[in-house]
Amino acid sequence: MPLQILKIIHHRISIYTLSIVLTFGVLYGAGLGGYYYYTHEKVEDYADAILARADSLIAQVKLIDGFRQEFAVYEPCSSQYLNALRKRLWPYPLIKDIAYVNDEKIICSALWGKLNAPLSLNLFRNKVNRGSYTWVFDAFIEEHITANVLYTNNFAITVSPFAFQRFWDEANKMDFDAVIGDFKHKNHFFMIGKNTQLLESIEHKQAHSLLYFTEKSCNRVNDVCVIVGTSLSLFFKNNTYVLLFLFSLSFIIGFLIGTLYINNLSHKQSLLTRLENAILNQELHFVYQPIYKVKDRNITGVEALLRWTDSQIGYIGPDIFIPLAEKNGLINKISQYVVEHAIRQCAPMLLNNDITLSINVSCADICSAEFREKLLSTLKKENVAGESIILEITERQSFGTDDIKQTMDFFKGTGIMFALDDFGTGYSNLNWLSLLDVDEIKIDKSITDSIGTESINKHILPGLIGMFKNIPKIVVFEGVETEMQYQFLKENVPECCVQGWYFAKAVPLSELRAVLPG
């Protein structure tokens, strides 16, 4: 296989690989963002739901506690007492039992009746005093039975072991951990999930984990806070479906982007190759647009404008192929082509008429020795005076003014003139005007367009006109399209020149000869 083809294949594979990898990166990042957002929302909802459950548990405990005086009328642990407890217990699903306590020992309860022996509440995991109440968490009741009990004096309320049961399912499914504690995180009451130790350490800043994030939901009135935490998985918890989906999507999108890029590249390359061939085969041609003195409508010069009609693509405007040539280092060839062909074509016309030929050149070219050589030799060969040529320059390639100044100095003795093109646009402005001693200023069509309109340029225009009156340069207004613009310029800038469709469009040389006297 020829080396060239191998290079192309290698280049294409690199583009596809890069495009797929980048797409995967973007999709992965977006997926991770979405996954984080989803988990975050879930964690928030989870914390809120647990808090709501804790709040209703506290509400139920408070309600039952409020019945204490009602039970006090009966002999403790009598059958009436126990009956009253059972009746009150019935409607509260989060409460398992109500008991009579004496000396921190359960004597009897709604569920167990009178106990054979008092049950001490002194074996527990955690004990928290809250005002006149005491919470005992995981109090030992019997083998394999523990309970969370709130007691005060002679009264104890046992929380249902199922009060937070449903939250365990979600904790297991989503890898959530939750701690229910007081507002200041001093006491932790209930724990849900497998990794609550890590959550507690992170919460108390004893441990750090980048991929573990926490959310809080608190109720200051009940002095309860629910803290939920979960670890983020960089690989979507190794969910093969998600990963496979991401890979496939990245492959498809990356492949499409790669193909689009390659197509675009080859289109540009083919356009460039075509342009190169067009220059080589001398297929580019010119049209010429006359420039008039506004006060008497006499033609003072013509501007050479390059045209390209490709045999396959058709007409391609200079606004497309000139920037393409500038970007790809072909503009010097174009400029030499323009100089050689336009001067040769116009030589007889320039000899027989007192007019100038304006040629568009790139700043980079006029500074090149090759271009200077070509221009001077063509002028000599065609016997055309330097005074007949105006080189139109713009700042499009942001070329340094120092080099241009040097070039202008170089051409000084030759009579060749310089025009600052597109004045008033981003490419050509007052800064350039002050730095370069040009012979002519070409006012951009956007400023001419503002004549008679309310645009900002209209307000700038009077100032510009005042300035042009005081500088000894030829001023050419480009793109004059209407009678009104013409009349305005004739009245306000009678010394200026004009160019535009109102007077004449750019035409082939044969048509131009018809309007010239000589």
Ligand X SMILES: Nc1nc2c(ncn2[C@@H]2O[C@@H]3COP(=O)(O)O[C@H]4[C@@H](O)[C@H](n5cnc6c(=O)[nH]c(N)nc65)O[C@@H]4COP(=O)(O)O[C@H]3[C@H]2O)c(=O)[nH]1
The CA–CA distances, whole Å, from 85 to 73, 100, 142, 147 equal 12, 9, 22, 18
- According to the binding rule CB under 6 A, does residue 82 interact with ligand X? no
CB of residue 390 to ligand X, shortest distance in Å: 11
Q: Which residues contact 518 (CB under 8 A, 6 or more apart)?
A: 349, 352, 353
When binding is defined by CB under 6 A, the residue of 481, 482, 507, 513 that contacts ligand X is 481
Nearer to ligand X, 247 or 337 (CB): 337
* Residue 500 engages ligand X in binding (rule: CB under 6 A): yes
Under rule CB under 6 A, residue 449 binds ligand X: no
Nearer to ligand X, 85 or 291 (CB): 291
* Least spacing, CB of residue 21 vs ligand X, in Å: 40
Nearest distance in Å: CB 502, ligand X? 6
Phi-psi sector, 75: left (phi>0), alpha (psi -120 to 50), beta:
beta
Decide whether 300 or 499 has the Cβ nearer to ligand X.
499
| Smallest distance, ligand X to C-beta of residue 359, A | 7
* Torsion, Cα of 18, 23, 24, 30 (10° steps): 150
Asked if 301 touches ligand X (CB under 6 A), the answer is no
90 touches ligand X by CB under 6 A: no
Residue ranges in 389-428 that form contacts with ligand X under rule CB under 6 A? 392, 421-422
- Minimum CB distance to ligand X, residue 20 (Å): 39
Residues in 305-324 that interact with ligand X by CB under 6 A: 305-306, 317-319, 322
Does residue 506 touch ligand X according to CB under 6 A?
Answer: yes
d(CA 323, CA 330): 10
DSSP states along 331-363: HHHHHHHHHHHHHHHHHHHHHHSS-EEEEE--H
- 428-447: contacts with ligand X (CB under 6 A): 445
Q: What are the backbone dihedrals phi and psi of residue 404, each rounded to the nearest 5 degrees, phi first?
A: -65, -40
Helices (H), 144-230: 165-174, 196-203
Q: Which of the 8 DSSP states describes residue 228?
A: E
**In angstroms, what is the minimal distance from the CB of 451 to ligand X?**
12
Comparing C-alpha atoms, which of 277, 358, 260 is closest to residue 316?
Answer: 277
Q: Please check whether residue 438 is in contact with residue 473, taking contact to mean a CB–CB distance below 8 angstroms.
A: yes
Q: Minimum Å distance from CB 498 to ligand X?
A: 9
User: Is 483 an interacting residue with respect to ligand X (CB under 6 A)?
Assistant: no
Site for ligand X, rule CB under 6 A: 289, 305-306, 317-319, 322, 334, 338, 360-362, 392, 421-422, 445, 478-481, 499-501, 506
